[in-house]
Amino acid sequence: MTQSIWTLVISSNWNLIYQGRACRKFLGDDEVNRDTFFKNIHNNLIVSCQALEDEPLHGSDIMAKMSQAAKEGGAKAIRSNTASDVAAIKKQTGLPVIGLLKRDYPDNEVFITPTLKEVNELLAVNPDVIALDATIRKRPHGETLKDLVSYIHGQSDTLVMADIATLRDAEYAIECEVDMISTTLSGYTSDSPKFEGPDFDLVERLSKTSTVPVIAEGRIQTPEQARRMLELGAWSIVVGSSITRPQLITKTFTDKIRML
């Protein structure tokens, strides 16, 4: 397996050190501390449980039940959209939750936790991690990734997941002191290559150079693809639509049947 260059110092406290900085530990009873979070997700599955307003399973109660089902299947954390879903899922499952908030702004391409407004909405429900767009694209209102990351770290013990599309994005995000990077946006920005399947090359290259954990995400459709990501050096994997969007899963069957 490809070895990431970020250093693990394993002791009785399972201390993690990267970028020359000792990882802070959470102290609250209800908090998943930094050490435990990374240890729990290592070589394990994170399930993205999201349903937008126009989807059949939209609703915090439904997403909480979906997340419980994912937990029973072995998921070690949940990635979730909106503050209400984050709160419901934390209460239902007790799993660590990676929260984000998708919101469109006029004349701007950034929509995953784009501004301080969305950050504060999420902080109010105490997610274990906040995921945000960490591409080099300009954010609404002239805000910057570095300012948002600094704000989150200054206001809470919440970790920051950087959703990136390219190596350049990853370098920028790490400079902004994010806690982990995820390949969420690969293939969805104008400067990233388009694939029908996962971006194995990006994950492999990041795993060789990144000083923070690399989370593989995006178009992972089979257990074999997920396993391959771990073999390439990913710290963990996020799978969403192939598990939690039954309308899309059903369509893959009906499309194949029609080809007969």
Alpha-carbon 107 to chain mean position: 25
Phi, psi of 101 (to 5 degrees): -140, 115
Two structure tokens written together for 43: 């070589």
The architecture CATH gives domain 17-258: Alpha-Beta Barrel (3.20)
Q: pLDDT for 171-211, tens place per residue?
A: 999 999 999 999 999 999 999 989 889 999 999 999 999 99
What are the angstrom distances between the C-alpha of 170 and each of 27, 34, 43, 161?
29, 21, 21, 11
Average pLDDT across the chain, whole number: 90
pLDDT score for 47: 99
Query: Burial level of 15, CB count in 10 A (0-12/13-18/19+)?
Result: middle
Query: Burial level of 105, CB count in 10 A (0-12/13-18/19+)?
Result: middle
Instruction: Report the alpha-carbon distance of residue 30 to residue 94 in Å, rounded.
Output: 9
Instruction: Report the alpha-carbon distance of residue 233 to residue 227 in Å, rounded.
Output: 10
Tens-level pLDDT at each residue, the chain (260 residues) = 455 554 343 333 334 433 333 333 333 433 447 889 999 999 999 999 999 999 999 999 999 999 999 999 999 999 999 999 999 999 999 999 999 999 999 999 999 999 999 999 999 999 999 999 999 999 999 999 999 999 999 999 999 999 999 999 999 999 999 999 999 999 999 999 898 899 999 999 999 999 999 999 999 999 999 999 999 999 999 999 999 999 999 999 999 999 88
| pTM of the entire predicted model | 0.88
Please state the domain extents for the chain. 17-258
